[in-house]
Structure 1
Amino acid sequence: MAEVEETTREFPPVEPPDPTPVERRRGGLRVLAFTGVVFAVLIGLCFGMRALNVLPGFDNPFDDQETDRSQPVLLQSMRDLSRYVAADGTFQVIVDLQQNKENIPDFLINQRTLFVGSGTVEAYVDFGTLADGALVVDEKNKSVRITLPPPQLSQAALDMERSYVVAEERGLLNRIGDAFKADPNKQQRVYQEAQKRITEAARGSELDERARENTQKMLESLLTRLGYTSVTVTFGSP
């Protein structure tokens, strides 16, 4: 009987196939999702324990911070005031300023600002300029005669909390120019124009007449309390 020879063949180990790009992306997304869930749970636990006063307080690392590097206030001058502010008036003006070039379209060169300005003008009497003989007192008859300078109006003081820019238009070339060169005096010109117009409006009002009446009433009340029965107040010509 013939003998059968047995042979054994060895085969290399079979390696698993490489994952496809889609499977790799899915695996990466699963890892990211798992990490995000764990991070959210940790943050929620921290805030929950903070609300229960288990953890000490901590600040938001991304909060806005403000650094004040201002210098100390410097006193430049002092002066004694001898004026009596008898009245003031609050005015509001709309300033519409436009700067452009002739024969050039506004969409190229144009600077227009619409500004609402609110300011106060004071009417005062300067007692520091009283001339000699302005005060005549008659103790026997208990009478006083006072000659005062005419009331004056101060320059308008803008109230920046009530003043604001309504609209601002700029041409294409103006925008390009502003990107390379800032004009710090641009808004200052608008403020100055508003001050000028409010001051002029105050001069045309009855603010100075109100100051005359209030000053006269104040002096009459003061001197009457001092025992004078006749008080005469006159104002000089402007």
Structure 2
Amino acid sequence: MTTSIKRMPVWAKVITAVVLVLVVLFAGLRLAVLPGLRDLFGTETHDRSGPALLQSIQDMSRYDAASGNFQVVVDLEKDAKYLPDAIRGTRTLYVGAGTVDAYVDLGTLAKSDVTVNSDRTSATLRLPHAVLGKPALDPDRSYAVSKQRGLLDRLGDIFSDNPNSERSVQKLAAKHIGDAAKDSHLTARAEKNTTSMLDGLLRSLGFTDVTVTYGT
């Protein structure tokens, strides 16, 4: 038996190897389609993570005045030159959900930005314009709808485990959410809410005339 295998021509060995790979892929597909078969093996999850370490503490001087919730559907396709998609290429459909905060940085205020009259009944504050924070994806609401892969990409997934396989679509989703936040009225809402907060605070301290402006 061993002698007959050694005498096989190279092309026959290649075809045999391809057939074996297809059988493995087909078996994995059957297990994915029929989860009942996969459950027969029984899986357990163990969390062996180490304790979280506090690396730094930073005092916050900004007022988060508004937050927007966004959702985007990312359709990312990667093709290989001179190869059909069935052989090499991926296409991922990903739903990204996240938030973007708009805030006013109160830590940059100088004494000249706050004017109070002698009897402390009137106050004028000049604040910097509200800005947008970085988009934050929500992992509980973000998920891959589908992922199509060529044969070579499927083979690569068998022999390697890439934990960053969805990083590209996640970064793209965050970019689209950030762009949508720029086109929204989040900063205007943040400035309005900041004005209302400061107006209520100063009036509770006895001020009857409060003026809040934005800009340098």
TM-score range, shorter-chain basis?
0.7 to 0.9
Q: What displacement does 1:70 show?
A: 2.0
**Paired residues for 1:65-144 under 5 Å:** 66-140=45-119, 142-144=121-123
Greater RCO (CA < 8 Å, at least 6 residues apart): 2
1:208, 1:64 → 2: CA distance? 48
- Cα distance change of structure 1 residues 65 and 109 upon mapping to structure 2, 3 Å threshold: closer
Percent sequence identity over aligned pairs: 49
Residue in 1 that maps onto 2:164: 185
- Cα distance change of structure 1 residues 190 and 65 upon mapping to structure 2, 3 Å threshold: closer
Counterpart selection for 1:214 from 187, 193, 208: 193
- Show structure 1 runs of 4+ deviating over 3 A: 62-68
Q: What displacement does 1:188 show?
A: 1.3
- Cα distance change of structure 1 residues 105 and 161 upon mapping to structure 2, 3 Å threshold: same
Matched, 1:170 2:141: no
User: Number of aligned pairs?
Assistant: 176
1:141, 1:78 → 2: CA distance? 36
**TM-score, length of structure 1 as denominator length:** 0.70
Q: Which has the larger radius of gyration?
A: 1
Q: What displacement does 1:135 show?
A: 0.7
2:78, 2:106 → 1: CA distance? 44
2:197, 2:43 → 1: CA distance? 53
- Cα distance change of structure 1 residues 75 and 126 upon mapping to structure 2, 3 Å threshold: same
Counterpart selection for 2:138 from 156, 159, 168: 159
Residue in 2 that maps onto 1:145: 124
Q: What displacement does 1:138 show?
A: 0.7
- AA aligned to 1:127 is L
Counterpart selection for 1:205 from 181, 184, 190: 184
Residue in 2 that maps onto 1:51: none
Gaps of 5+ in 2: 1-40
1:76, 1:148 → 2: CA distance? 31
2:151, 2:44 → 1: CA distance? 36
User: What per-residue deviation string (whole Å, max 9, x for no partner) do you get for residues 14-33 of structure 1?
Assistant: xxxxxxxxxxxxxxxxxxxx
Q: What displacement does 1:66 show?
A: 4.7
Matched, 1:194 2:184: no
User: What per-residue deviation string (whole Å, max 9, x for no partner) do you get for residues 190-235 of structure 1?
Assistant: 1111111101110110010100110111111111111111111000
Counterpart selection for 2:206 from 206, 227, 230: 227
User: What per-residue deviation string (whole Å, max 9, x for no partner) do you get for residues 43-67 of structure 1?
Assistant: xxxxxxxxxxxxxxxxxxx986554
- AA aligned to 2:124 is R
